[in-house]
Amino acid sequence: MVAVSETRKLVNAKEAAEMLACSTRTIKRKIASGDLVAKRDGRRLLIERWSVEAYLSGLPVARGAR
């Protein structure tokens, strides 16, 4: 199981969608296209918070930065 620290380095799809003001389906599309970096913990999809913040600020996310 992926440990989530007190600083919340990972967010779930719903939280990422709220941060970006979009749907969870759009979040999954952004992950598939490489715009967001995510990992699986069993069935849970966890998105790297830094990739959401980088997307918000318009910074490119390096492909394969997992």
**pLDDT at residue 5 in the model:** 46
* Residue 4 CA from chain centroid, whole number: 14
Asked if 36 and 28 touch (Cβ cutoff 8 Å), the reply is no
**Alpha-carbon torsion angle 3, 10, 17, 61, nearest 10:** -140
- Token readout for 7 is 């600083």
pLDDT at residue 61, as a whole number: 72
Specify the pLDDT at position 6. Answer: 43
Say what the pLDDT of residue 16 is.
96
Q: What is the pTM of this model?
A: 0.77
- Residues 12-43: tens digit of each pLDDT: 999 999 999 999 999 999 999 999 999 999 99
Helix (H, G, I), strand (E, B) or coil at 19: helix
